[in-house]
Amino acid sequence: MGLKTDLNVSINAALTGTLDLNFPSSQLDYVKTINLASGTGAGQADRIWHDKRTLAASATEDLDLAGALLDALGGTFVLARVKALLVKAADANANNVVVGAAAATAWAALLGATGTVTLRPGALFAAFAGKADATGYAVGAGATDFLKVANSGAGTVDYEIVIIGASA
């Protein structure tokens, strides 16, 4: 089994204005790509897990990055290091999706043990380890391996999540 990953970030923006004699503009075309080969070293990843999930009113869930999740082929998803994380809150959510700060064995490599990211409806959060980075964001099985996702209020919320990493 192999995994080839292309992580892309693209921002295309045009700022325009009006002056007395001209129409100034500034165009930004910003594209960054990180390609990961199959494996467990620098510039490599060998595991992926993704899902669309729903949380009931004020509910939370702890996603175990070291053994409780199953990948798309039915294999156990066990990570030693996260190389990419993407969480997208659904546009139609009435509440925020809050990521981070599990009560026990929190995965702390990215946000710290108590840090969180609040995703308002439609928001997207992504973090990618660099191609030359062999470590990425470490996962400690049984010690620092739970990624908490929470619904901030009443009513259900939906979110999409993608986690890519290395098993060793």
Q: Is residue 29 domain-resident? A: no
Q: Is residue 5 domain-resident? A: no
- CA angle at 125 for the pair 46 and 130, rounded to the nearest 5°: 45
Total-model pTM: 0.94
Per-residue pLDDT at 1: 73
Q: Which residue segment(s) compose the domain that 97 sits in?
A: 44-166
DSSP state of 92: T
CATH number at residue 97: 2.60.120.770
DSSP string, 117-153: EEE-TT-EEEEE--TT-SS-EE-BTTTB-EEEEEE-S
- CA angle at 162 for the pair 86 and 143, rounded to the nearest 5°: 90
Q: Is residue 24 domain-resident? A: no
Q: Where are the alpha helices (DSSP H) in 55-112?
A: none
Q: Tokens standing for 99?
A: 């990521």
Per-residue pLDDT at 7: 97
Per-residue pLDDT at 14: 97
Q: Is residue 34 domain-resident? A: no
Q: Is residue 15 domain-resident? A: no
* Overall number of domains in the chain: 1
Q: Is residue 161 domain-resident? A: yes
Please list the rounded mean pLDDT of every run of 10 residues in the chain (168 residues): 94 96 96 97 97 98 95 95 98 98 96 97 97 95 95 97 97
Q: Is residue 131 domain-resident? A: yes
Q: Is residue 69 domain-resident? A: yes
